[in-house]
C-alpha cells in the first residue's frame, strides 16, 4: 500500500486545487436580442437559426397561450375551474425555451407552463381538467412527453433529472427541460436535482422563470446569491441570465443549452427574468403586496407587443397571418369552452381502479360501499 508521494498527491489533487471556473458565471447583463422597440441585435454566443416560418410560429404560440390564459380565467370566474394559475407576461420565456426542444424531448413543468404546453400541442382541454378537478392528470404524460403538472413546489426537478439520467444511460439522445419559479429555488429538492444532474452530467436544462414573486414573497427573500443563475457555479454548471420577455433571446440561450445537453456537455441553469402580470392564481389578491408602478413598468416590457414590433418590421405580420392566428385561437377557445363547460365528472368508483394495478379486497369493499351510498342517494332523490 506504500505509494510514492507524488502519486498520492496526484490522486488527491482535485480535492485541494480547484480550477477557476469563472466561465460558468453568468454575465451581469441578461442576454437580450430584442429591445422593447423590437430592434434585433445579434449576439454571436447565442446565434439565431430561425427562418421566417419559425419566427411566425413563435408569435402563433404566444398568441395561443395568451388567448387560452384569458379564456381559462373566464372559465374560473364562471365556476368552471377550481383555480387557475395564469402565465400572462411569461409567454416569451415559455415559448422561446420550449421551441428549442425536439418533439421527443421531455418537459417537466410546474403548474404555470400553459404556453409551453401550446408549443408541445398538449390537448388544452385535458390539461384544464387538472384545474377543473376532473382528474389530476387527464393527459397521458408519455404521449406528449409532458409530465404531470407539479403542484408541490420543486418536486418535478429531481424526477426530471432522474429521467434525463435514464436516457443518458440508455444512450438515447433526448434532452429534458424542467420549469420552475424563483420561489422553487429555495426548496431542498431543487438543490438535489441540480446537484444530481451535474454529478451525472445528465442531459437536462433547468429553466427558472424568475417572475419576481412567489405568491406575495419577493425574490429577495429566496436567496442571497447575486442572482439565481450564479448558483450554477456551485454545481459546476453554467448559469445564464436571459431577458425572459424576449422570446428570441429565450429561444437562443435555450438552444445553446439544449445542444450542449444533447452533445454530452451536461446541464445548464437558465434564469429568465420575467414578470407575472396576473395574480399568482385566481384565488390571489396581488394588490396586497405589489404596487401599480411595478405593473406599469412591466407592461411596457410585454413580450408579445415587443415581438409584434419586430415581426412587423420584418414584414412577417401581415393582416392575413394575424387573422389566421386569431381565428385559430378563437377556435381553440371555443372548443375548450364547449368541452370544459359543465363537463361531467367520471364515475367516482373509477378512483379505486388506479390505486394499485388491481383492486385489492379492502378497496373493492370500500368501492361497493360508495356505490351503495350513491345508489341510495339516487333512490332518495327519485
Question: Of ligand TPP, other proteins, none, which one does residue 366 interact with (CB within 5 to 8 Å by kind)?
Answer: none
Q: Is 138 a residue that touches other proteins (CB under 8 A)?
A: yes
Q: Is 158 a residue that touches other proteins (CB under 8 A)?
A: yes
Task: State which of positions 327-366 bind other proteins (CB under 8 A).
Answer: 350-351, 353-357, 360-363
Q: How far apart (Å, rounded) are the C-alpha atoms in residues 241 and 228?
A: 8
Q: Is the Cβ of residue 26 or residue 183 nearer to ligand TPP in the bound state?
A: 183
Write the secondary structure of the chain as one string of H (helix), E (strand) and C (coil). CCCCHHHHHHHHHHHHCCCCCHHHCCCCCCECCECCCCCECCCCCCCCCCCHHHHHHHHHHHHHHHHHHHHHHHHHHCCCCCCCCCCCCCHHHHHHHHHCCCCCCEEECCCCCHHHHHHHCCCHHHHHHHHHCCCCCCCCHHHHCECCCCCCCCHHHHHHHHHHHHHHHCCCCCCEEEEEECHHHHCHHHHHHHHHHHHHCCCEEEEEEECCEECCEEHHHCCCCCCCCCHHHHHCCCEEEEECCCHHHHHHHHHHHHHHHHCCCCCEEEEEECCCCCCCCCCCCHHHCCCHHHHHHHHCCCHHHHHHHHHHHHCCCCHHHHHHHHHHHHHHHHHHHHHHCCCCCCCHHHHHHHCCCCCCHHHHHHHHHHHHHHHHHHHHHC
* Active site (annotated) includes residue 280: yes
Q: Is the Cβ of residue 152 or residue 299 nearer to other proteins in the bound state?
A: 152
Q: Is the Cβ of residue 14 or residue 362 nearer to other proteins in the bound state?
A: 362
Q: Is the Cβ of residue 168 or residue 250 nearer to other proteins in the bound state?
A: 168
Q: Catalytic: which of 129, 130, 139, 276?
A: 276
The site map against other proteins for 184-223 (x = CB under 8 A) is ----xx--xx-xx--x------------------------
Q: Catalytic: which of 84, 280, 306, 307?
A: 280
The distance of closest approach from Cβ of residue 301 to ligand TPP in the complex, given in angstroms and rounded to an integer, is: 17
Q: Catalytic: which of 289, 314, 341, 345?
A: 289
Is 71 within 8 Å of 333 (Cβ atoms)?
yes
Which residues of the shown chain bind ligand TPP in the complex (CB under 6 A)?
Answer: 112, 151-153, 180-184, 211, 213-215, 276, 280
Who's near 83: CB < 8 A, 6+ residues apart? 76, 131, 281, 282, 283
Tell me how many residues contact other proteins (CB under 8 A).
Answer: 42
Q: Is 152 a residue that touches other proteins (CB under 8 A)?
A: yes
Within 10 angstroms of residue 189's Cβ, the number of other Cβ atoms is: 18
Q: Is 236 a residue that touches other proteins (CB under 8 A)?
A: no
Which stretch in 135-143, 256-264, 285-293, 306-314 sits in contact with other proteins by CB under 8 A?
A: 135-143
Q: Is 155 a residue that touches other proteins (CB under 8 A)?
A: yes
Q: Is 148 a residue that touches other proteins (CB under 8 A)?
A: yes
* Active site (annotated) includes residue 111: no
* Active site (annotated) includes residue 114: no
Considering only residues 35, 137, 186, 281, which one is a binding residue for other proteins as defined by CB under 8 A? 137
The distance of closest approach from Cβ of residue 159 to other proteins in the complex, given in angstroms and rounded to an integer, is: 4
Q: Is the Cβ of residue 136 or residue 323 nearer to other proteins in the bound state?
A: 136
Give the interface with other proteins as residue ranges (CB under 8 A): 135-138, 140-142, 147-148, 152, 155, 157-167, 169-170, 188-189, 192-193, 195-196, 199, 350-351, 353-357, 360-363
Q: Give the active site residues.
A: 276, 280, 289
Amino acid at each position: 500500500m506504500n505509494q510514492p508521494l507524488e502519486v498520492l498527491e496526484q490522486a488527491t489533487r482535485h480535492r485541494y486545487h480547484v480550477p477557476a471556473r469563472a466561465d460558468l458565471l453568468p454575465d451581469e447583463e441578461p442576454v437580450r436580442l430584442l429591445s422593447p422597440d423590437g430592434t434585433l441585435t445579434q449576439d454571436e454566443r447565442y446565434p439565431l437559426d430561425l427562418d421566417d416560418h419559425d419566427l411566425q410560429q413563435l408569435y402563433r404560440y404566444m398568441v395561443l397561450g395568451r388567448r387560452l390564459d384569458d379564456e381559462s380565467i373566464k372559465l374560473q370566474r364562471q365556476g368552471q375551474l377550481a383555480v387557475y394559475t395564469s402565465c400572462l407576461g411569461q409567454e416569451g420565456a415559455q415559448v422561446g425555451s420550449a421551441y428549442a426542444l425536439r418533439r421527443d424531448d421531455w418537459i417537466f413543468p410546474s403548474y404555470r407552463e400553459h404556453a409551453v404546453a401550446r408549443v408541445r400541442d398538449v390537448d388544452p382541454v385535458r390539461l384544464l381538467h387538472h384545474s377543473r378537478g376532473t382528474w389530476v392528470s387527464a393527459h397521458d404524460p408519455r404521449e406528449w412527453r409532458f409530465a404531470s403538472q407539479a403542484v408541490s413546489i420543486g418536486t418535478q426537478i429531481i424526477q426530471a433529472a432522474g429521467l434525463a439520467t435514464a436516457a443518458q444511460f440508455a444512450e438515447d439522445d433526448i434532452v429534458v427541460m424542467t420549469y420552475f419559479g424563483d420561489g422553487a429555488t429555495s426548496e431542498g429538492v431543487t438543490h438535489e436535482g441540480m446537484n444530481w444532474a451535474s454529478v451525472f452530467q445528465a442531459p437536462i436544462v433547468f429553466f427558472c422563470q424568475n417572475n419576481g414573486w412567489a405568491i406575495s414573497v419577493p425574490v429577495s427573500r429566496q436567496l442571497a446569491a447575486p442572482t439565481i443563475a450564479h448558483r450554477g457555479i456551485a454545481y459546476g454548471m453554467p448559469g445564464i441570465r436571459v431577458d425572459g420577455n424576449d422570446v428570441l433571446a429565450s429561444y437562443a440561450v435555450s438552444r445553446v443549452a439544449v445542444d450542449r445537453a444533447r452533445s454530452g456537455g451536461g446541464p445548464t441553469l437558465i434564469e429568465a427574468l420575467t414578470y407575472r402580470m396576473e395574480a399568482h392564481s385566481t384565488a390571489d389578491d396581488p394588490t396586497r403586496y405589489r404596487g401599480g408602478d411595478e405593473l406599469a413598468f412591466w407592461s411596457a416590457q410585454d413580450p408579445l407587443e415587443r415581438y409584434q414590433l419586430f415581426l412587423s418590421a420584418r414584414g412577417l405580420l401581415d393582416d392575413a397571418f394575424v387573422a389566421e392566428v386569431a381565428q385559430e385561437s378563437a377556435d381553440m377557445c371555443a372548443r375548450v369552452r364547449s368541452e370544459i363547460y359543465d363537463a361531467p365528472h367520471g364515475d367516482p368508483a373509477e378512483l379505486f381502479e388506479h390505486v394499485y394495478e388491481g383492486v385489492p379486497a379492502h378497496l373493492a369493499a370500500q368501492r361497493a360501499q360508495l356505490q351503495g351510498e350513491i345508489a341510495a342517494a339516487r333512490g332518495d332523490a327519485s
